[in-house]
Every structure is written in structure tokens, then in C-alpha cells.
Amino acid sequence: MKQMAVFASGNGSNFQALVDAIKSGSLQTELSLLVCDNKNAFVLERALAENIKVFVFDPKQYETKSSFEKEILRELAIHDIDWIVLAGYMRLIGPTLLSKYSGRIINIHPSLLPSFPGKDAIGQALQAGVGTTGVTVHYVDEGMDTGTVISQREVPILSTDSKDSLQKRIQAVEHELYPAVLAELLRK
């Protein structure tokens, strides 16, 4: 069975959706490791509750991105990780990880890329006044949300939407789409 590591920095709702999909049998993988760059992230509590191993690091304790990515690579090797899945990981992946896991790092983003890449995509969409946004699952490359799109799903922006209400509807789509796309990728 393929071994998966999830990288996350915050609440971990997509992490939980993946755990739930694995438990239900709809996603055939083993989530072996959570990599987190924020010692206060709620996702750590989620991992602890699920008995999933955790590697937490503070990027400020390293001189370079390459040095902390080398340490992450050591952790990934210990757990025999096949795939890296980003779920709200708020850092660009550097060449150290990209070279080792090329074509095996996946991200989910709350917009229809290439529209609204980077931070606060939901706020960007609302500010732009567009009628629709959505969710994109894509391969990770060296750019900010520039990797090849694997799957997208539209989410209409309602005239009554606040940032919070739109985020909740986008997350509901993410929690369905991400496990489904990963299940398909892992079958190959």
C-alpha cells in the first residue's frame, strides 16, 4: 500500500477529510506522517487523536529552506513515503523536496487556478467581484500554485456570501474532491 505524508500548517480540515476517507475505505493509502511547520496548529491535535506520527519543525531554526527540507526528507525516508499531499501548508516547496518527489506532490487550492493563486484566494475572489470561484487540485512545481491542474470544481459566489460562508462552501467541496482525486491517482 502506498504511504502518504500530509504537510499542513493550520486547522487541518482537509487532513481530517483524508483521514476519514481512508477510514471509510474510499482512499486506499496509509497516512503515515504529518509534517507541520507550526507547533500551535490544530492539525497536530487531529493527528494525535488519529495516532498518526508527526514531524514538527520551526523553519526559523534553520539557516536555509534546503536545510529544513533535508531534514524533512530524512523523516519521509524513515516512513517510506511515496506521496506528499499538501493540505494548507503555507510554504513553497523547494528544489530539495521537488527533485526527490517530482510528480508525487499534490496540492489543493481554494480557487479555479490560474485565477487567485497564493494566500487569501477566497478574499481575492470576493474582492474581484467574480461570479464563480472553486477548488483546484494540482501537481506542485517550483511556482506559487502554478503546477499542472489535475481536477477543478466550480463554486458559485452568491450575492449573500461573506468570506466565511464562501469558505465553508469551498471547504465542503475540497473535502469531497481531494480524497476522490487522490484515490484515482493512487490507483495508477
Question: Which residues does 141 contact at the CB level (< 8 Å), separation at least 6?
Answer: 98, 147, 148
Please say if 175 is a catalytic residue.
no
- Max distance between CA atoms of the chain, in angstroms, equals 49
Kindly write down the DSSP assignment for every residue of 106-151, as one continuous string.
EEEESS-TTSS-STTHHHHHHHHT-SEEEEEEEE--SSSS-SPEEE
Catalytic one of 79, 109, 138, 175: 109
Query: Which grid cell is 39?
Result: 507547533
Q: Are 16 and 34 in contact (CB under 8 A)?
A: no
Which sequence positions are flagged as catalytic? Answer: 109
